[in-house]
Amino acid sequence: DIQMTQSPSSLSASVGDRVTVTCRASQSISKFLNWYQQRPGEAPKLLIYAASSLQSGVPSRFSGSGSGTDFTLTISGLRPEDFATYYCQQSHSRPRTFGQGTKVEIK
Amino acid sequence: QVQLQQWGAGLLKPSETLSLTCAVYVGSFRGYDWSWIRQPPGMGLEWIGEINHGGSTNYNPSLKTRLTISVDTSKSQFSLKLSSVTAADTAVYYCARGFLLGTTSGNFYYMDVWGKGTTVTVSS
């Protein structure tokens, strides 16, 4: 199985901040990497697919980059509704594994 | 807009079989994979397995011996059965639509529509 490791596990930030979350794969996965947002009590929501493609309807303040083993999710200008947990997920091979999550909290 | 509605028993005793169903409303059932994902309390997401409209399945090896995912294309539904449950199977279970985007750079898979989740508790 491909192991996905996110860092940090949690972070505190203020509205308007630029936030970066990192995801590392245990082996090269090219650009087969997705990002999801999960607010408390809700189902995950797709933000980014293929490492850097923005899902339809997702605000442009969200962006993704990376390839191989190292990936980042950036939120440029944090808004109140962005306080949530973010998961990366590899789609290179099955089983389709997720990172452990990064919780973005209000400072 | 595509919606997934899921249902099933929420309270089970150890050794019983977990059974959930997910129905697809408004949208095509063909051309997609249909997945189950679970999330234990306070923890992260675990992919359980998937099925396509033709009935081909892929399972997480960690659950394979207890798992059956099936599809009923006439009803646009797919189902999950997990046998011999224990407390470790307590989780919120989600169904989701998987889409395979073909590009010149590769075939990229992502889950773009999710059900609201069903809480399943295993307790004696």
For the four alpha carbons of A4, A7, A10 and A11, in that order, the dihedral sign comes to negative
Tell whether the model's pLDDT for residue A92 goes beyond 90. Answer: yes
Looking at this protein, which amino acid is placed at residue B29? F
DSSP for B35-103, please give it: EEEEE-TTS--EEEEEEETT--EEE-TTTGGGEEEEEETTTTEEEEEE-S--GGG-EEEEEEEEEEEEE
Tell whether the model's pLDDT for residue B105 goes beyond 90. Answer: no
Confidence (pLDDT) at A86? 98
The chain A residues in contact with chain B (CB within 8 A) are 1, 30-32, 34, 36, 42-46, 49-50, 53, 55, 87, 89, 91, 94-101
Taking an 8 Å cut-off on Cβ atoms, the answer to whether A91 and B110 are in contact is yes
* Closest to A25 measured CA to CA, from A37, A7, A10: A7
Q: What's the whole-number average pLDDT of chain B? A: 96
CA triplet B23, B92, A10: central angle to 5 degrees?
Answer: 125
Confidence (pLDDT) at B26? 84
In angstroms, the separation between the Cα of residue A46 and the nearest Cα of chain B is 6
pLDDT digits (tens, 9 = 90+) for A11-68: 999 999 999 999 999 999 999 999 999 999 999 999 999 999 999 999 999 999 999 9
Higher pLDDT, B57 or B53: B57
Confidence (pLDDT) at A4? 98
Name the token pair of B55: 């009935």
What whole-number distance in Å separates Cα of residue A11 and Cα of residue A22? 12
Closest Cβ–Cβ partner in B106, B110, B115 for A34: B110
- pLDDT grade, residue B27 (50/70/90)? confident
- What does the pLDDT average to over B79-101? 97
